[in-house]
Structure 1
Amino acid sequence: MPAYPSRSAPRERRPVPPLDAAALERLALRYVERFATTRGRLVDYLLRKIRERGWDGAAADPVALAEKLAELGYIDDRAFGEARAAAMARRGLGQRRVSATLRQAGIAEDDAAALAPAIEDRALQAALTFARKKRIGPFALAVPDRAVREKQIGAMIRGGHDFTLARRIATMAPGAPIEELSQD
Structure 2
Amino acid sequence: MSDSERQSGQGARPARAPRRITADYLQRAALHYLERYSAPAAQLRRVLARKITMSCRYHGDDPALHAVALDEVIARCLSSGLIDDRRFAEARAATLRRKGQSSRSVMVKLTAKGIARDLAGEFANTHADDEVAAARVAAKRRRLGPWRRPDERAACRQKDLAALARLGFGYATARTVIDGDAESAP
Smaller-chain TM-score range?
0.7 to 0.9
Correspondences of 1:71-86 after superposition (within 5 Å): 71-86=79-94
User: What CA deviation, in whole Å up to 9, does each residue of 1:115-170 have, x standing for no partner?
Assistant: 24447652111111112222322333215345x22221222122221222113322
**Residue 117 of structure 2 corresponds to residue 115 of structure 1:** no
Task: Give the one of 22, 32, 35 matched to 1:33.
Answer: 35
Q: Distance in 2 between matches of 1:18 and 1:40?
A: 23
Correspondences of 1:1-184 after superposition (within 5 Å): 8-12=10-14, 15-54=17-56, 55=61, 58-61=65-68, 62-118=70-126, 122-142=130-150, 143-146=152-155, 148-170=156-178, 172=179, 175=181, 178=184
Aligned Cα RMSD in Å? Answer: 2.8
Q: What amino acid is aligned across from residue 66 of structure 1 in structure 2?
A: I
Q: What amino acid is aligned across from residue 86 of structure 1 in structure 2?
A: A
Q: Distance in 2 between matches of 1:100 and 1:31?
A: 23
Percentage of identical aligned residues: 32
Q: Which has the higher helix share?
A: 2
CA distance change for structure 1 residues 161 and 25 in 2, over 3 Å: closer, same or farther?
same
Q: Distance in 1 between matches of 2:127 and 2:111?
A: 14
Give, in angstroms, the shift of residue 105 of structure 1: 0.8
Unaligned runs of 5+ in 1: 1-5, 180-184
Runs of 4+ in 1 over 6 A off after TM superposition: none
CA contact (8 A) 2:52 2:66 kept: no
